[in-house]
Amino acid sequence: MDVTGGGWVRRALPGFFSPLEVAASVPTTMARAAELAASGAPEGATVVAEEQTEGRGRLGRVWVAPPGSSLLLSVVLRPPLAREAVWLTVAAAGAALAEAVDAVAPGPVPAGLKWPNDLELGGRKAAGLLAEAHLEGERLAAVLLGMGVNVGQGAGDFPPEVAERATSVSLAAGVPVDRAALLAAWAGRFLAGYAELCAGRPGPVLAAYRGRLVTIGRRVRADRIGADPVVGTAVDLTPTGGLVVQTASGARVEVLAGDVQHLRGA
């Protein structure tokens, strides 16, 4: 593994995020975090990379990040949560990221979250988050939390197929944004929410996540895994983080996994 000095990362992250590996390039931070978790690394073990050569988002999509342009990190968590509550860790991370963006680089509209775990700035995707549960039998052994944030990209840095849907924190704010400042702002807020989850108090995290979730109330198309697409209005969340979509016929359909598009019009 090509490990750099990473001084700015170490200064930005609280002591919880330890041991810390900062790499110039890795295939994916999630793969490295999985190796650490499997080898018994403690909670808080963190991998940060300047570049991912095989980065993937949700549903296997390629995640493109020119070296030095993004925040790419994965953290090993070992929360005292039931398996069905794992989604709350990524909800805490997403809400913390939206709050951090507004604090460090406020844009013309507040940062929002698109279900289940994308950061939206001005209607365009600026970050994706992911939580993977690792089980030992029925016991939750670890959760790998991954986050990729477009920070310094310019308009010409995105591939043509995503250019109309993607943005960066700097583009949305209209000024260059310091990655260290954004990382520090996120880390403190995430740890506060994560502490509430570990103490058995999910209420504050749920409230923060719902408050940022711009999908509720929107007309959406949900392309589901293993099922037909559903079009309707997103009206609620289930206790396990699913999205409830009400169709034109009045049927309420629970979407557990898939890709959601925000549609225009009523």
The residue among 170, 25, 145 whose CA lies nearest residue 88 is 145
Looking at residue 68, its pLDDT comes to 86
Domains and CATH numbers, the chain: 2-212 (3.30.930.10), 219-262 (2.30.30.100)
Looking at residue 2, its pLDDT comes to 42
Residue 56: φ, ψ to 5°: -130, 145
Q: Which of 8-22, 46-60, 218-232, 250-264 has the lowest mean pLDDT?
A: 46-60
- Give the pLDDT band (50/70/90) at residue 1: very low
Looking at residue 59, its pLDDT comes to 45
pLDDT at residue 265 greater than cutoff 90 = no
Q: Where are the alpha helices (DSSP H) in the chain?
A: 7-12, 29-38, 87-104, 169-173, 179-198, 203-212
**Cis before 79? omega within 30:** no
Q: Which of 58-67, 155-164, 229-238 has the lowest mean pLDDT?
A: 58-67
Looking at residue 226, its pLDDT comes to 81
Determine the Cα–Cα distance for residues 243 and 19; give it in Å rounded to an integer.
Answer: 36
For 226: left if phi > 0, alpha if psi spans -120 to 50, otherwise beta; the answer is left
238-258: per-residue pLDDT in tens?
A: 989 999 999 999 999 999 888
pLDDT at residue 134 greater than cutoff 60 = yes
32-43: per-residue pLDDT in tens?
A: 999 999 999 999
67-95: per-residue pLDDT in tens?
A: 888 999 999 999 999 999 999 999 999 99
Chain mean pLDDT for the chain: 91
41-63: per-residue pLDDT in tens?
A: 999 999 999 998 876 554 445 55
Q: How far is CA 198 from CA 46, 64, 77, in A?
A: 19, 33, 11
Three-state DSSP at 83 gives helix
Longest dimension (CA), the chain: 58
159-194: per-residue pLDDT in tens?
A: 888 888 899 999 999 999 999 999 999 999 999 999
Residue 73 pairs in a beta bridge with: 48, 147
Average pLDDT over residues 11-33: 95
Q: How far is CA 178 from CA 13, 35, 93, 152, 153, in A?
A: 14, 30, 19, 8, 12
Sign, CA dihedral 244-245-251-255, equals negative
109-120: per-residue pLDDT in tens?
A: 999 999 999 999
